[in-house]
Structure 1
Amino acid sequence: MSRNLIISLLLGILIFSSKAALSAPISEDLNSAVAYAYFQIGEDDADDQSLSLGAFLGQIKEITENHYNVASITQVLDAQKSGKTLPPRTIILTFEKFDRGFLRDVWPILEENNLPFLLFLNAAKLDTASSDEDSLDPNWDDARTLENSPLSEIGITPYSYTHSANIDNSDIEMDINRAKTLFREKMEIEPLYFSYPFGEFTPDYLDVISKQGFMAAFTQASGVIGLSTPRNLIPRFTMTDSFSDIERFRMTSSALPFPVTGITPMSVFSKANPPSLGFTASNDIPDQDIKKMNCFASGISDVSIHSTEHRIQIEIPTAFDDGKGRVNCTIPVSVTDGSGDDDNLRWRWLGFQFSFPE
């Protein structure tokens, strides 16, 4: 056998092996999107959900200078329904805790850069606004200012922004209907999007939302929006000063869907701490990719993963502190189109949020 032929055969084997090592894309990758949740934005905020204005401006610079596709939630849902491909780094900007500081500091930045956004409004806060002109409390006129912008979409929370561990279905439904009625009366709109207060939901809460006619309802668990993502469980990466660095923003913005079914428990609230977390990964995800999965629990090391075929059980060795916790599971996916990180990787991402009522 000639030397040239041997070299050709070896090259062929290497190329075949490298291609085999690459994780195959799945259909949901082609029109997936990542949503971000912003709460209080301002230099002097001490809230644990706050983000400094400087950090927010840094993210806007990253977005505008590096070919991100900032889309509305309606555009993303329509693309997924029709099978239209979306560009890598398609992201959705969502905001809560609306006040006049938002109108003063954040809204001009979004308008200047022509960035669409989804704003969740709380009817109780608008209803009880202070008459003091120097107050940051927003009123219905302030809300109408943004509702008239082509960049904005309006979503709602229940009238009462409260924890939902012990709320009856009838009370949840009444509270949501009260908010919807006010938005019809005050702004002449039918809200299409909903945000769970504090990201909290239960099976009963999900049942109520499924009957309310919303196009989508948003949690505060991390993850990526794919075609199979339940429309009443849209994930978002929360943006706070603790998680606002640009490297993390780049990594999460290129994240990929991690489609699963059979999640247990199907609730943010868990009597057991740590919870017994399980789910079934989609058959679209190859077995070799499942073996690459890692899971991380906030403040806890040595999380174990047990899988039987595509059924996965996460074993968390110790209890979460502070009555709440998060679990994030990721799978590295090799890419060759320049959409990944410095190692040419993107990450399938699946997040869970837990609360442990006393």
Structure 2
Amino acid sequence: MSLKHLGLIGAATMLASATFAQDYLPILQYHHVSASTPRSTSLSPEEFKEHMDYLAEANFNVVDLAKALDDIRNGVALPDKAVAITFDDAYRNIYQNGFPILKEHGFPFTVFINTQPIEQKNRSFLTWDQIKEMTQSGGVFANHTVSHPYMARMEEGESHGQWKARMEKEVADVEAALEEHLGTSPKMLAYPYGESNQEIRTLLTDQGIVGFGQQSGVVSKDSNFADLPRFPAAGNYAKLSTLKTKLNSMPMPLEKVEAGGDFAGEMPVSLTLSFKDGQYRLKDLACYVSGQGKAALNWLDDTTVVAAAEKPFGVGRGRINCTMPNRAGSQYYWFSNVWIRAGEDQRYVSQKN
């Protein structure tokens, strides 16, 4: 075979590798693995096994979260069908019911722990010995604050400075505990209840800590690494049929997003999406408002659309989820934005961030 032919084969191999290299990451979010805990944040051990068995049978590559995020930021390709597994809170049923299944498959995973119940030896939460055992089989443990507070809220009578000092301590004490008990911290934090504000996100960024919310979506190099998305996979989202769609999702090809800040008010929210140059099925874009159904779409030009809610959100968290099929119709682009509608007595630090 000639050198020319060898060169062509090598180029084709490189092209194929580039074609199948993945530069984005869907992340699954779990809490309880139990049939006796609140359904909204739980799935049964049988359901969890079904999820993990499917990942194995469908040849997904379950990756270490921290390394995968570093690779994405540095332009290093992930394996095809890469996915990461996370848990919020340090529930003991993760060790009892989830860990044996993960260990059987050899899947790495990350648990975001709140340390107060661990230090108090609460029987419903992990012990440090269990945590250390799990680290020997692919477990990574990261920050979920000490006491699991609403991080963007002040306590009654608290000044802004006191609130900020309290949040700094909530973060720093867990980092110190991870270093003390495990010898290292992956520098990742999941916001309790998925809530943060710009000050909190800046606090994390200044310390080199990656932040995670609870909005749906897929991580790419264009994501906000102070507020990364994850797909909830428990409760109403535990069905394998819907999970398959999320696992097959890609990041929405957005140039710019305008959401008007973290907080919703008395008027309906809207979301302005500007798409990158490319061939997309923009006419098939669909956005859904939590509790309201489809959002109204108003195209400002060929690549910019405003997705608007019909009614104001009630107190709490509300979102707009947008999806769009790719050109082949085989995968969906996915994006979600969350707003907080503050109650009068909830003392959020700022409703204008």
Q: 1:144 aligned to 2:139?
A: no
Aligned to 1:23: none
Partner of residue 91, structure 1: 83
Distance (whole Å) between structure 2 residues aligned to residue 236 and residue 284 of structure 1? 26
Partner secondary structure for residue 89 of structure 2: coil
Q: Which amino acid aligns with 1:243?
A: Y
1:169/1:208 contact within 8 Å kept: no
Task: State the match for 1:355 in structure 2.
Answer: 340
Cα offset, 1:55, TM superposition: 1.4
Deviation digits for residues 73-126 of structure 1 (CA, Å, limit 9, x no counterpart): 133224324434334432100012223222111111101110111111112121
The residue aligned with 2:146 is 159
Report if the CA contact (8 A) 2:20-2:80 is conserved. Answer: no
| 2:180 match: secondary structure | helix
Query: Contact 1:33–1:224 at 8 Å: present in 2 too?
Result: yes
Q: What residue in structure 1 maps to residue 172 of structure 2?
A: 177
Alignment CA distance shift 1:47-1:246 (3 Å): closer
Corresponding residue for residue 257 of structure 1: 251
Q: Alignment partner of 1:37: what SS?
A: strand
Partner residue of 2:51 out of 55, 59, 71: 59
Query: 2 CA distance for matches of 1:345 and 1:100?
Result: 38
Who is 2:159 aligned against? none
* Aligned-partner Cα distance in 1 for 2:27–2:198: 23
Q: Match of 1:109, SS?
A: helix
Q: Deviation per CA, 1:290-342, whole angstroms, max 9, x where unpaired? A: 3331101122134111232434322110233463322110111033xxxxxxx
Residue deviations 1:185-244, cap 9 Å, x none?
333223421101111111121111111212x21111000111211211211001123111
The answer on whether the counterparts of 2:215 and 2:338 sit within 8 Å (CA) in structure 1 is yes
- Matched residue type, 1:156: N
Q: In structure 1, which of residues 269, 275, 278 is the aligned counterpart of residue 272 of structure 2?
A: 278
Is 2:280 the counterpart of 1:292?
A: no
Q: Secondary structure at the match of 2:287?
A: strand
- Counterpart in 2 of 1:186? 181
Alignment of 1:233 onto 2:227: yes
Indicate how the Cα distance of structure 1 residues 61 and 315 shifts in structure 2: closer, same or farther if over 3 A, else same. Answer: same
Alignment match of 1:314 (pick from 266, 286, 307): 307
Q: Given that residues 303 and 315 in structure 1 are in contact (C-alpha distance below 8 angstroms), is that contact kept between their aligned partners in structure 2?
A: yes
Q: 1:88 to 1:272 in 2, by over 3 A?
A: farther
Which position in structure 2 is the counterpart of 1:102? 94
**Which amino acid in structure 2 is aligned with residue 159 of structure 1?**
V
* Aligned residue in 2 for 1:18: none
**Greater than 4 Å deviation, 4+ residue runs:** 26-29
Aligned equivalents of 1:95 and 1:173: distance in 2? 23
Q: CA, structure 1 residues 194+114, in 2 after alignment: closer, same or farther (shift >3 Å)?
A: same
8 Å CA contact retained: 1:256, 1:348: yes
Change (3 A) 1:272 1:312: farther
Distance 1:69 1:266, change over 3 A: farther
The answer for the alignment partner of 1:3 in structure 2 is none
Q: Choose the corresponding residue for 1:197, options 186, 192, 203.
A: 192
Q: Percent identity?
A: 21
Task: Quote the offset at 1:356 in angstroms.
Answer: 1.3
Whether the 8 Å CA contact 2:106–2:137 is kept in 1: the answer is no
Amino acid at match of 1:76: A
Gaps of 5+ in 2: 1-17, 155-162, 344-353
Cα distance in structure 1, aligned partners of 2:153 and 2:299? 34
TM value normalised by structure 1: 0.81
Structure 1, unpaired ranges of 5+: 1-25, 336-343
Q: Which moved more, 1:160-169 or 1:56-65?
A: 160-169
Contact 1:88/1:254 (8 A) holds in 2: no
Measured in 2, the distance between the counterparts of 1:106 and 1:112 equals 10
* Matching residue of 1:127: 119
1:326 and 1:352 in contact (8 A); partners too: yes
Q: Following TM superposition, by how much is the alpha carbon of 1:27 offset from its aligned partner in structure 2, in angstroms?
A: 9.4
State the one-letter code of the partner of 1:356. R
The size of the alignment, in residue pairs, is 316
